[in-house]
């Protein structure tokens, strides 16, 4: 199943002024990397967000959020947000901001 191109374009628009962003097709979807580290992605209709273990566990309490599990093994610190959780631009911006806060602290690759 192809990934949601509309969501990918919305992410591009919100990240267009951020330096160090790269797009990469991966895991049957599309990933957005910051300085070589995975930031967010689009997989099928879902938004994948890298938040780290602490913020990732906290985000699981939000509506429309579940653990990222595309291989049968959930990844700690990563979540998947279903479309109702990023339908508004402000919602998407919030997820991107959370991911940027975590990933910007990681060493460049």
For residues 36 and 48, give the distance between their C-alpha atoms in angstroms, rounded to a whole number. 16
pLDDT at 55: 94
Q: What are phi and psi of 50, to 5 degrees?
A: -95, 115
pLDDT at 1 over 80: no
Domain ranges of the chain: 5-103
Q: Find the mean pLDDT for residues 8-36.
A: 95
The dihedral sign for the CA sequence 80, 45, 43, 6:
negative
What is the CATH code for 5-103? 3.90.1150.30
What does R_g of the chain's alpha carbons equal in angstroms?
A: 13
Mean pLDDT of the 30-40 span? 97
71 versus 106: which is more confidently predicted? 106
The model's confidence at residue 71, banded by pLDDT at 50, 70 and 90, is: confident
Q: Residue 89 has what pLDDT? A: 95
Structure tokens at 101: 């806060």
pLDDT of 27 reads: 82
Position 90 scores a pLDDT of 97
pLDDT of 3: 93
* Rounded distance between C-alpha atoms, residue 3 and residue 103, angstroms: 23
Nearest by Cα to 51 from 43, 7, 60, 42: 60
pLDDT score at 28 = 87
């Amino acid at each position: 199943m192809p990934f949601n191109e509309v969501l990918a374009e919305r992410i591009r628009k919100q990240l267009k002024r951020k330096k160090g962003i790269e797009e990469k097709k991966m895991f049957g979807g599309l990933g957005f990397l910051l300085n070589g580290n995975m930031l967010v992605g689009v997989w099928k209709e879902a938004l994948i967000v890298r938040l780290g273990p602490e913020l990732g566990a906290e985000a699981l309490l939000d509506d429309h959020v579940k653990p990222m599990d595309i291989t049968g093994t959930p990844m700690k610190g990563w979540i998947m947000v279903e479309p109702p959780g990023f339908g508004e631009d402000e919602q998407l911006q919030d997820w991107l901001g959370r991911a940027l806060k975590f990933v910007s602290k990681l060493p460049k690759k």
